[in-house]
């Protein structure tokens, strides 16, 4: 079963994980070839690929036999992880917890004092108690919670945590030990026995050298006007960020939210779900259709206690504080107060975010949308049968040699140009575009105006701060940065004709906030 496998391989897995944090910069051309998705026969930290090496290798294609083979490979790769998440344990010398017997009181490491016959409530005694009944206490670094495995316990998973704690309380009472501090002591014991189910899954089989990225890219069919190279790059970088989130001991900082935009019911969410084929592992590490509110503690805790989170109701999330949402998505640390915790704990980020959306015009942030790695899709193949454990194992070899999970400035610029096609329709933007003659930008004598004064000019008489901020973003995009004129941020506005200036407009004073 998994626990014995994990115990035997934990040192090796931790060494592999530590290697990820010690990556070195490599030849940019070699890495660019990786990102351009040429099949790679071998990638190791000591054999950094370059263009000539990659081109000289025979190309390996993923044929139908290999695809059909992936089902059994997935089963082998995930059996260990699934067994652990199910809570199965070796059954040798398992005590009968239906009718348990007290442990030998003399066996407790911390003995009673002052004439008491009760074992004192200490971490060492709590550890001895659980070990004496073959109870395993572990801490899941992805879920940020304890995993208590009770041998022979056949209860439902719905209430497993409370049942496990109640059984330990009962055993403590049986042995005359107080129970008040046991939950806190279990946290200490579990922290000494950490496990990472995603890392264990990725590392359970080394990459076999067969490139599976190209077939995976083909499972998403992009719109005709969207560059295929950009699609492949966004998928590659985002998947690489998922590997970094799982394997880097100190956490990482996400750079983008993979966003699949396309018609309803074509399988966008199912594609995300298929990233982890094993059902039991998937239920523990992927959160689908999550309503993310960066200002709500419960929403944040739910998100950061998973490896991959699909943001549902994206338009609803956009109606909240956009700045706070963007800050949260790219944070490298998370503060969470776990059950029985007395204070907030700070954890390295181990979560990557993705989103699915049906509407074409959904981006609302006038200050930029580079965090949203949008791919407009027309068809999705989520029943691809690709061995995803091997995909992530392949990406791990790329991470080991310094591959980056963020976009270059040129790629960001290309993404931003594509994202403009997905901007939400804005009355303010439409009025400004209708009012301006952009060919007059370089003319002299143009009126200098604040954002609020521009809004008044186009008949938005009492603009709110939000409207003025949106207008400032649009002016900055169309006309460049503002000029500081008499201590106030203003733009020289190239109106099409004087008729656009309302004869009745009374401009706001020049003391509005800087936008």
Same domain, 278 and 413: yes
> Which class for 298: exposed (0-12), middle (13-18), buried (19 or more C-beta within 10 A)?
exposed
pLDDT at 34: 52
Q: Quick check: is 1 in a domain?
A: no
pLDDT at 183: 92
Q: Quick check: is 7 in a domain?
A: no
Same domain, 436 and 349: no
Q: Quick check: is 12 in a domain?
A: no
The tally of domains found in the chain comes to: 3
Same domain, 154 and 32: no
pLDDT at 367: 66
Q: Quick check: is 14 in a domain?
A: no
| DSSP per-residue codes, 7-62 | HHHHHHHHHHHHHHTT-----HHHHHHHHTT---S--BTTB---HHHHHHSPP---
Same domain, 385 and 254: yes
Same domain, 144 and 173: yes
* Residue ranges for the chain with pLDDT beneath 50: 1-12, 14-29, 35, 37-83, 86-92, 499, 502-505, 507
Strand stretches in 156-256, DSSP E? 194-195, 220-222
pLDDT at 152: 80
pLDDT at 39: 38
* Phi, psi at 266, each rounded to 5°: -100, 0
What is d(CA 30, CA 37) in angstroms, rounded to the nearest whole number? 11
Same domain, 379 and 413: yes
Coil, strand or helix at 290: strand
pLDDT at 341: 63
Same domain, 435 and 289: no
Evaluate whether 212 touches 391 at the Cβ level (below 8 Å). Answer: yes
Q: Quick check: is 282 in a domain?
A: yes
Residue 153, domain extent = 79-197
Q: Tens digit of pLDDT for each residue in 317-373?
A: 776 667 788 889 989 988 877 655 667 788 899 999 999 999 888 888 766 788 999
Whole-model pTM over 0.85:
no
pLDDT at 117: 84
Same domain, 291 and 358: yes
């Amino acid at each position: 079963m998994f626990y014995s496998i994990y115990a035997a391989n934990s040192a090796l897995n931790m060494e592999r994980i530590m290697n990820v944090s010690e990556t070195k910069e490599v030849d940019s051309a070699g890495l660019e070839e990786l990102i351009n998705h040429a099949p790679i026969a071998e990638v190791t930290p000591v054999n950094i690929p370059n263009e000539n090496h990659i081109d000289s290798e025979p190309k390996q294609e993923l044929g139908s036999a290999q695809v059909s083979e992936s089902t059994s490979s997935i089963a082998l790769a995930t059996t260990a992880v699934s067994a652990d998440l199910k809570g199965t344990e070796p059954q040798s010398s398992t005590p009968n917890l239906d009718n348990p017997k007290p442990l030998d009181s003399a066996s407790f490491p911390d003995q009673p004092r002052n004439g008491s016959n009760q074992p004192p409530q200490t971490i060492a005694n709590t550890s001895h108690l659980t070990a004496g009944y073959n109870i395993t206490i572990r801490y899941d670094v992805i879920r940020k919670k304890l995993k208590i495995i009770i041998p022979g316990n056949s209860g439902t998973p719905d209430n497993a945590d409370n049942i496990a704690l109640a059984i330990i309380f009962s055993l403590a009472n049986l042995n005359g030990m107080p129970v008040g501090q046991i939950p806190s002591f279990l946290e200490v014991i579990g922290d000494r026995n950490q496990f990472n189910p995603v890392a264990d899954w990725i590392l359970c089989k080394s990459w076999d050298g067969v490139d599976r990225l190209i077939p995976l890219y083909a499972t998403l069919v992009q719109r005709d006007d969207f560059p295929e190279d950009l699609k492949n790059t966004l998928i590659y970088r985002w998947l690489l960020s998922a590997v970094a989130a799982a394997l880097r001991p100190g956490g990482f900082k996400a750079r983008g939210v993979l966003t699949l935009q396309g018609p309803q019911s074509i399988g966008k969410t199912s594609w995300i779900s298929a990233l982890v084929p094993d059902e039991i592992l998937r239920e523990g590490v992927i959160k689908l259709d999550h309503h993310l509110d960066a200002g709500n503690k419960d929403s944040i805790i739910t998100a950061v206690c998973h490896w991959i989170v699909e943001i549902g109701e994206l338009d609803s999330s956009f109606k909240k504080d956009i700045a706070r949402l963007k800050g949260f998505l790219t944070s490298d640390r998370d503060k969470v107060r776990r059950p029985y915790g007395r204070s907030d704990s700070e954890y390295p980020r181990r979560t990557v975010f993705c989103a699915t959306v049906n509407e074409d015009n959904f981006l609302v942030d006038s200050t930029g949308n580079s965090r949203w790695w949008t791919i407009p899709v027309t068809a999705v193949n989520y029943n691809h049968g690709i061995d995803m454990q091997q995909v992530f194992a392949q990406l791990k070899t790329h991470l080991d040699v310094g591959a980056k999970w963020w976009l270059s400035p040129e790629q960001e610029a290309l993404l931003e140009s594509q994202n403009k096609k997905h901007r939400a329709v804005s009355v303010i933007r439409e009025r400004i575009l209708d009012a301006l003659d952009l060919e007059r930008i370089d003319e002299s004598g143009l009126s200098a105006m604040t954002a609020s004064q521009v809004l008044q000019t186009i008949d938005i008489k009492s603009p709110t701060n939000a409207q003025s901020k949106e207008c400032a973003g649009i002016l900055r995009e169309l006309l460049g940065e503002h000029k500081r004129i008499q201590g106030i941020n203003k733009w020289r506005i190239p109106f099409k004709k004087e008729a656009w200036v309302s004869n009745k407009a009374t401009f706001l004073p020049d003391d509005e906030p800087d936008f």
